[in-house]
Each structure stands twice: as C-alpha cells, then as structure tokens.
Structure 1
C-alpha cells in the first residue's frame, strides 16, 4: 500500500470516481443484506443513483487516491437538491476501503467537506446514515456531529446528523 493519499475531485461515473463509488456500494449493499453484494445489485444501484446530485452545480464528489492511482475512499457533498435543507450542505456516499480504515482517510475526507461547506458560507452540514455503519457514525460523532430529527425521507437511513458551522 502506498503511503501518500491525496484528495481529487472526480465524477462518480468515470475513474477514479467510479471505482470509489463501486467500493462504497459493495460495502453498503453487503451490510444491508448480510452477504457479499452481487455485481448486478451494484450495477443497478449505480445506474439509478451514480451522480445523485454530486456533480456541479449541485454538488461535488471527492476521491481519496493512493499515489499508485488506487481509489481508497470517497465522499460526496450536495449543495442543493431534494431533501437538502436550505441552510446546509449534505454529505453522501462517505466510504473508506477496509485496507485503509483506521489510518485517517475518513477524517481527511470529512475535514475537507467541512472546510468546503464553511468556505461556501453555509450554516451547517447534514447527513443520514444506516445504524449499522458504526465506523462512519463514530467518525461523525468524534467530529462533533449530533443526532437530529430526520430532515429527509431516505428509506435506507435510520440516523440523521448535523454539524453546526456557525
């Protein structure tokens, strides 16, 4: 494994964004079903939700890339769209590969979306999560996110968070 990881803005439909998004989907779908995700499940979800507001002007998609080009993490940030509160940006598709978990990649990604949201002058950052994404939830809580009432109707979410940036 390389020792240098950089963040790059990417499109979720082409490499390295596509590889990162597929890693995210494999992880989440596997947890949802308690078994490895099938390629057709990943492809179907990707076809329906790939960019999901994560491209300009509605959002951005960041990929953590090792110096050998391997995507080891990602995070999306939606500036606007269905379910995004008026005064907030929303985190979507936060993921780090098993190989780099615990090495600070998630924190690097999260710190960058916090910085971008502050730079945009928004009052808060929100996200929804599945209850079983324990590593992600721990990361959010350590960064100061607090549980809030549901701000959207995502049928896959069980927990909603917000971080006040004012």
Structure 2
C-alpha cells in the first residue's frame, strides 16, 4: 500500500517553485497553442493559512516532491457558498500511475473544508484529459466560468459537505 505524506510549503519556496516550473514547462510543451499558454507563479500570500495552503507530496524522507497543488480562498459563490479554488494540481512524471493525483485532490478538499469551504472550484483545459477525468470521477460537475483564466476551457465545482 502506498503511503503518502503531505508537506506544506510556501508557494515561493525553492522546492515548490521547482515543481511549478516543471508543471509550467510541461503545459507549454503540450498545450494546443504553446504560444498562447500564459504562466504566472502564484502570489504566496494567497496560499498562506487561513487564505489557502500549498502542499507537496512525498512518499518517504528519501522520496520527496512527487506532486504539488494548492487551495486558495476566492469570492463567495451563489447563495453564499464559501469557495476555495484548487490550483496547480501537478503530478511529476515519476509519480504518475500511483494514484497521487486523486490522493492530493482529496487532501486539498479536506484542507479547504478545514478553512470553512462549502464548495471547491477549479478550472482546466480540454487537453488535460486525465485531469478532467479525475475531476469528474471525484464528483466535480461542470459549471459556468467563475474566472477569466485564458488557459481554461472547463470549469468545475463540487460541494464540500
């Protein structure tokens, strides 16, 4: 059985920055229009409790940095839903096929609930077919766009009960 360890890091810490750089590099290389993909490293203050958190996935003390992702507070949704957005969910190639994406998504949802979220939202691009499948299989439903992310083609939400 795979044992996963979650480690909070400032989103601007060197290790977090390296994972995000790998994520952005892969997205640019695989994006339908690489010239059109916009990258921006996240504002660290938005991923600092209680506004949010950034997490890195380790498998052991010697096997570190296999995946990353963050959750951050955004404006309230319809009917006063307290929304947290899941951002930059990335599993490095060496960690793929182990269920780390699903495990990390669940951990980010758990942390959002602990902050008081009643709904998780996220956006993705059609070219990320595995990500879209993960989100749908995890109970996310398609919603109208909640942001103007130029890289996104689909927006999702999930109640956090």
Q: How many residues align?
A: 153
Provide the residue aligned with 2:42 in structure 1.
Answer: 50
Per-residue CA distance 1:15-37 (angstroms, 9 max, x = gap): 321222122112212122677x9
Question: If the length of structure 2 is used for normalisation, what is the TM-score?
Answer: 0.82
Query: CA offsets per residue over residues 39-98 of structure 1, 9 Å max, x none?
Result: xxxxx94xx4233622344321001124225311111101136xx746210000000011
Unaligned runs of 5+ in 2: none
Is 1:118 aligned to residue 113 of structure 2? yes
Gaps of 5+ in 1: 38-43
Aligned positions of 1:60-139 closer than 5 A: 60-67=53-60, 68-80=62-74, 85=77, 87-139=82-134
- Structure 1: which 4+ aligned runs deviate by more than 4 Å? none
Maintained 8 Å contact 2:82/2:116: no
Is the CA contact (8 Å cut-off) linking 1:61 and 1:77 kept in structure 2?
yes
